[in-house]
Chains A and B, each alone.
Chain A
Amino acid sequence: MALLEAQNLEKNYADGTRALRGASFSIEKGEFVAIIGPSGSGKSTLLHILGFLDHESSGVYRYDGKRADDFEDKEIAVVRNEKFGFIFQAFNLLGKMSVYENVRLPLLYSGTPEAEWDEKIRKAIRSVGLEERTDHDAAKLSGGEKQRVAIARALVNNPQVIFADEPTGNLDSASGGAVMKIIAGLHEAGHTIILITHETYTAEYADRIIKIKDGLVESDEKVLHKNTARDNFQK
């Protein structure tokens, strides 16, 4: 059974825009899938639906065999909290909070016993190499560091799937490379990764690339010359 399964997903916005026109594919547990396409192709909309941040207008989306429509609001919150981790292009950190507090955010809404929080937070921060910055204000970090904090936050609840929406979009090539290496490392550690990007080179960190054009799947192929966590990142 596929972990994520999309069947004829369509998404129409109130202003008449048809972001998705019937996208279908499935993703297995442990895969690293890049969804690429030009701006406006519907790739971000697709990620939002897959990540339970938005609803499809028609078609069927199943997570772990269960239709998205059958999840109640509270269950959706639990899935977002415990099963999914999000990395956004704009980082979306709370600037007035410290690195530690930002990484702690998902734990506030989880059932994890409070006694385990500190260890989990520090482990996540360590895994992105920011232990020196633990008590710094998030607002004072560089772009690359901010994205690493966002990755630590996505990781802290050890989610099954990590959704990364243009994670290198706001970064210089060195920082972007570092971020992609961390994401590739997460895949190697067993996480399922869904990466949205418009950069072919970034997409080549994945095992599989789904090309989206005009709201439809244009191609769905395995990557032959895969970048790895050890490769240098170049734009």
Chain B
Amino acid sequence: MSDKKRAQKIADAIQSKFGDAVLEIEVAYDEFVAVVDKAIVHDVLADLRWTHHFDLLLDVVGVDCMELEPFRERFEVEYILYAMKSDTRFRVRTPVPETDLDVPTASDLWQSANWGEREAYEMIGINFVGHPCLKRLLTHHEFVGHPLRKDYPVMGGQWCSSTSEMKEELEESQGGAPGGSSAG
């Protein structure tokens, strides 16, 4: 069975299991994309993880669709999955409205979601609910705003007045303060 047939089968299984909450099944660049409602996105990912053996989460991507017409919602989160054993790729995409940026975390399913979601949080501003340490990853700790949003000025650099200590961050991520709420 070819990759495409395998992915087709998985897409069919997802669609029959979750019904109307699966908004669309797209094929882009020979890969299947399941566009799902964000209320069920964690269930879909868990199903792919445990039933369909997608053991690798390659990336979590936040997308600002402001300049793409037409779009469902302002933002999107996309999960790129890969099953090593069957050499199959699959993508899950969920629209996120500007008014409600909460998306359940996938870091309980794949460890690699941890940093991917932190990046999507800092660049686009998606709030991953239940993430162990939702803090900025690439920009400095005094940075305000989300630089990859289309309405953020490209040259909007922000000065950082002090160096930050990694120690504090490490301690927090190992079960100190609750993650996510105080991030900025």
**Do the two shown chains form a genuine complex with each other?**
no
Chain A interface (Cβ < 8 Å from any Cβ of B): none
User: Chain B interface (Cβ within 8 Å of chain A)?
Assistant: none
